[in-house]
Amino acid sequence: MSPEAVKGIAAAIAIAVGAIGPGIGIGLIGGKAVEALGRNPEAESSIRTNLVLALAFAEAIAIYALVVALIIKFT
């Protein structure tokens, strides 16, 4: 295999593995937020604030994986 092919495969694996965790986490966060809203609709603003904050942290991990994949690919 050529070095470019190995870099491409490594970058693909990095982003694939790095996107699985945040994808599952975002799904769980969203599901639990909907459950919380169903139980206590009056707390919508507090739940929404915590939901957005948690989603941002989970998405940041996916962005880190993307950065690592881009570094692998272009160096």
- Check residue 14 and give its pLDDT: 92
Return the pLDDT at 1: 85
Q: Are 11 and 73 in contact (CB under 8 A)?
A: yes
The string of pLDDT tens digits covering residues 19-56 is 999 999 999 999 999 999 999 999 999 999 999 999 99
Determine whether domain 3-74 maps to CATH 3.20.20.80: no
- Residue 37 in contact with residue 47, Cβ under 8 Å? yes
- In the chain the first and final C-alpha atoms are separated, in Å, by 17
Q: What is the pLDDT of residue 32?
A: 94
pLDDT of residue 29: 94
